[in-house]
């Protein structure tokens, strides 16, 4: 069998948080409680011989939770249906974080021999798995041999998810720094781009450290976090942690459900630079910018705020610190707060353009969004039928939800707030967005209409367009 050349990918420990957790769709979940417990026991027993690193411990903890393993001291026989046997050595790949160095090590080669002794796997499939452990890639021919041994569609589909995780890690990541002065809606924009509440949103300086937010390869319904140690099911912790009490950076991961879902994106959420509470925030952000480990900058401006010294000072520092080869997109946020008599989007952006050019940026790209409307359209109102009486009645009973729905309607009903019209996209891109809008209008899909008018699709299209150009140049 001819072996493919492995793409150059090597993850730092915290970057393993980017993987989607395959246990969430594992075929063994369809089995009864005893089989699930037996399977987990076999997995843990097999890995007793290797060093339990942080990610491995977190993975096994999640497996234990999903499989309902409970007390490991229970006495039961290690038995398992034959068709599940092939999954055990593949689960070990996932549990160790797809770590090539670990899998090729003598320690794991010894582990693999032990697994083959306690499972019923054909010699041909064993040889294919050995080859993967030595040097796996997403398109290695060994995968086809393993897939041919599958007797159930669920197992075949599950193995394909392993390949998808690996293929995703083989891509070069595209990192986007999101920066702003306080209360510009930076965290809300991040939530809108991801389609999940991954960042806390309050009208205060809540982001007190650098968050590296990794897009996952596919939806697993989980939020991952790596602060001191990895947590693979950490949604509740993320939204309750105290920013000021912990170190300067952490890694989070979630599947992005928007238009960026096909790219390996890393959003870098930096502290607001004008916090009156935490004066260290500006220094953290400036140091991050000066290092320059990112491919694009999204600079947020609050539409409702007047031009301020803080904003202009940050613009000047950004221009000084950012390499000219790195694109900066200026995003004017909070158009959901537009009131009659306020400056229209094009008028506001003309004023901002003057300030931005004074700071040294030539021909700046300035685009409007309503991040809150975008986030609500992708989450709170997604799939709602607003022609249904019961839906409307429920809206009327919740004052905050009704307020958000009113903002959503305002964007739809006010032509000047159809924010997609202010983007300098190619004709084909504009036509694609218009087709989506026509379909949403025809189906009376209010949330999809608002999502398009929020400007988030257009902003994502702008980001994707730049990524494609970089790929064509061989830089990604």
Domain residue ranges in the chain? 13-170, 174-472
How confident is the model over 5-59, as pLDDT tens digits?
445 567 888 999 999 999 999 999 999 988 898 899 889 988 887 877 899 999 9
* Tokens representing residue 317 in the block: 């520092």
Question: Does residue 260 surpass a pLDDT of 60?
Answer: yes
Q: If you ran DSSP here, which 8-state letter would residue 151 be given? A: -
Per-residue pLDDT averaged across 155-178, rounded?
96
Question: Does residue 422 surpass a pLDDT of 80?
Answer: yes
Separation of alpha carbons 258 and 420, rounded Å? 16
pLDDT confidence of 310, banded at 50, 70, 90?
low
Pick from 377, 390, 399, 398: nearest CA to 450: 377
pLDDT at position 437: 95
* Listed range (214-223, 301-310, 462-471) with the worst mean pLDDT: 301-310
pLDDT at position 233: 94
How confident is the model over 269-290, as pLDDT tens digits?
988 765 544 556 667 777 778 7
Per-residue pLDDT averaged across 338-358, rounded?
86
How confident is the model over 91-108, as pLDDT tens digits?
999 999 999 999 999 999
**How many Cα neighbours within 13 Å face the side chain of 413?**
8
How confident is the model over 392-410, as pLDDT tens digits?
777 777 778 888 888 888 8
pLDDT at position 6: 46
Q: Say if residues 66 and 33 touch (Cβ distance below 8 Å).
A: no
pLDDT at position 91: 97
| 383 against 150, higher pLDDT | 150
Per-residue pLDDT averaged across 64-84, rounded?
73
Which CATH number applies to 174-472?
A: 3.40.50.300
Q: What is the DSSP string of 423-458?
A: S---HHHHHHHHHHHHHHHHTT-HHHHHHHHTTHHH
| 126 against 74, higher pLDDT | 126
Pick from 189, 197, 217: nearest CA to 297: 189
- SS3 (DSSP) at 257: coil
């Amino acid at each position: 069998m001819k072996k493919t050349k492995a793409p150059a990918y090597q993850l730092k420990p915290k970057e393993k948080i980017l993987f989607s957790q395959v246990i969430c769709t594992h075929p063994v979940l369809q089995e009864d409680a005893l089989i699930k417990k037996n399977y987990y026991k076999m997995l843990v027993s097999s890995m007793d011989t290797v060093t339990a690193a942080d990610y491995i411990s977190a993975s096994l903890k999640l497996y234990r939770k999903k499989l309902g393993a409970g007390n490991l001291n229970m006495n039961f026989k290690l038995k398992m249906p034959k068709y599940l046997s092939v999954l055990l050595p593949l689960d070990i790949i996932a549990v160790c974080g797809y770590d090539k160095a670990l899998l090729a090590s003598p320690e794991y080669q010894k582990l693999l021999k032990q697994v083959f002794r306690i499972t019923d796997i054909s010699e041909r499939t064993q040889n294919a798995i050995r080859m993967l452990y030595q040097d796996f890639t997403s398109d290695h021919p060994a995968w086809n041999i393993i897939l041919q041994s599958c007797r159930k569609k669920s197992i075949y589909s599950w193995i394909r998810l392993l390949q998808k995780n690996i293929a995703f890690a083989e891509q070069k990541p595209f990192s986007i720094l999101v920066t702003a002065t306080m209360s510009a809606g930076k965290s809300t924009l991040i939530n809108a781009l991801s389609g999940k509440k991954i960042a806390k949103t309050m009208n205060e300086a809540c982001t007190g450290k650098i968050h590296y937010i990794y897009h996952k390869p596919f939806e697993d319904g989980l939020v991952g976090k790596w602060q001191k140690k990895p947590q693979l099911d950490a949604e509740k912790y993320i939204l309750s942690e105290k920013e000021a009490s912990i170190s300067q950076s952490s890694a989070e991961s979630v599947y992005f459900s928007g238009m960026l879902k096909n790219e390996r994106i890393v959003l870098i959420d930096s502290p607001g630079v004008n916090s009156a509470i935490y004066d260290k925030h500006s220094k953290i952000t400036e140091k991050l910018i000066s290092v320059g480990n990112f491919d694009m900058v999204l600079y947020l401006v609050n539409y409702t705020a007047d031009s301020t010294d803080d904003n202009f000072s940050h613009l000047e520092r950004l221009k000084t610190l950012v390499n000219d080869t790195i694109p900066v997109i200026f995003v004017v946020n909070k158009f959901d707060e537009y009131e009659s008599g306020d400056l229209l989007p094009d008028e506001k952006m003309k004023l901002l353009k003057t300030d931005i050019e004074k700071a040294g940026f030539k021909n700046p790209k300035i685009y409007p969004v309503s991040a809150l409307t975008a986030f609500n359209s992708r989450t709170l109102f997604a799939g709602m039928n607003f022609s249904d009486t019961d839906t409307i009645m429920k809206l009327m009973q919740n004052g905050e939800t009704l307020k958000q729905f009113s903002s959503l309607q305002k964007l739809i009903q006010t032509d000047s707030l159809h924010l997609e019209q202010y983007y300098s996209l190619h004709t084909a891109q504009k036509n694609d967005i218009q087709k989506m809008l026509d379909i949403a209008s025809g189906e009376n899909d209010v949330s999809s209409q608002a999502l398009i008018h929020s400007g988030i699709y257009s902003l994502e299209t702008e980001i994707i367009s730049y990524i494609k150009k970089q790929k064509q140049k061989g830089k990604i």
